Structure 1
Amino acid sequence: MLITVARYSLPYEAHLARARLEAEDIPAFVMDEHTINMQWLYSNALGGVRLQVPQGFEADAAAVLAENREPDLEDLEPTSSTRCPYCGSCDTHYHQIGRRCAFLVFLGIQFPLFPVRAGIRCESCGQISETENNPG
């Protein structure tokens, strides 16, 4: 007999939890996923996508699903290695240079004439600069 240990709105959430349980050698099954995939509006009416385990595994499954694994992911998250050339900060993120001009030209003549280049935006000083690996 299968016992429902968790309910999810979307099938991918249930599959992530199923994979976590199976990594701990707990057999798990996802129920109603195809119904929700076909008619996602039925998710709340059906009680969502159910994650079920065999009887006897429900306590172990509940303990595994209750674990907070967020600190493990934070340790694996890569930090930006690109430094801002203006202030030296590593608090940067990807930014496309020239995208706005290309969009405006596209609206005007239906063809983008300006190339879009890769760059970085510094969150500390707000400066935008090209990355070093840009050709030309």
Structure 2
Amino acid sequence: MIVVARFSFPHEAHIAKASLEAAGIESCIADEHTINTQWLYSNAIGGVRLMVAEQDLEQAENILSTDFSDVLCAEQSVTSQDHCPKCDSVKIEPFTKGKRSAFLVFILLGFPLFFYKHGYRCKECGHFCENAK
């Protein structure tokens, strides 16, 4: 086994290991429990090591260095965008209706009354809806 990558935290190594396993490359994680026990030792011992067989090293390095963000952007553009049901604009944002009045009631009465709603607000017409379509 040979080290293909080093990580500061075990969860980062597990994400990389999952990527390699999806490509059919066997791998193992070393020093995971040491870092979990005392995470301050991470830099001192070289972090958590992700190890693969020597014959899989080049393929593993290619997989770990590949940036898949363009694929994600392409998938998002293919899916239907949410839009305002009133004006059909796609310029909507997450919004909490009634948050200010709920805060004022809490300040004045000393206990919270939760009468606010989470939803979306259109940036074009200002329409609020609980579910964008």
TM-score for both structures, normalised by structure 1: 0.77
Q: For 1:20 and 1:121, locate their aligned partners in 2 and report how far apart those are by CA, in whole Å.
A: 37
Asked whether the 8 Å contact 2:86–2:127 carries over to 1, the reply is no
1:116 pairs with 2:116: yes
Aligned to 2:75: 76
Q: Can you list the C-alpha shifts for 1:10-44, whole angstroms capped at 9, x where unaligned?
A: 22221111111111111111222222222222222
Answer yes or no: is the 8 Å Cα contact 1:11–1:36 preserved in 2. yes
Shift of 1:128: 5.6
State the partner residue of 1:64: 63
Kindly report structure 1 stretches of 4+ aligned residues shifted beyond 6 Å: none
Distance, in Å, in 1 between the alignment partners of 2:80 and 2:36 is: 36
Whole-Å separation in 2 of the counterparts to 1:43 and 1:107 = 45
Give the TM-score, by structure 2 length: 0.79
**Unaligned stretches of 5+ residues in structure 2:** none
Q: 1:112 to 1:130 in 2, by over 3 A?
A: farther
Cα separation, 1, equivalents of 2:47 and 2:80: 36
Between the aligned partners of 2:80 and 2:41, the Cα distance in structure 1 is 40
* Secondary structure, counterpart of 1:89 in structure 2: coil
- Which structure shows the bigger proportion of residues in helix conformation? 2
Q: For 1:26, what is the secondary structure of its paired residue? A: coil
Q: Provide the C-alpha distance between the structure 1 equivalents of 2:125 and 2:6, rounded to a whole number of angstroms.
A: 43
Gaps of 5+ in 1: none
Tell me the distance in 1 between the aligned counterparts of 2:17 and 2:131: 42
Tell me how far apart the structure 1 counterparts of residues 41 and 101 of structure 2 sit (CA, whole Å).
44
- Mapping of 1:1-136 within 5 angstroms? 2-77=1-76, 80-83=81-84, 85=86, 88-122=88-122, 124-125=123-124, 127=126, 129-131=128-130
> Could you say what the CA RMSD is over the residues aligned between the two structures, in angstroms?
2.5
The count of aligned residue pairs is 130
Query: Using a 3 Å threshold, how does the CA distance of structure 1 residues 79 and 43 change in structure 2: closer, same or farther?
Result: farther
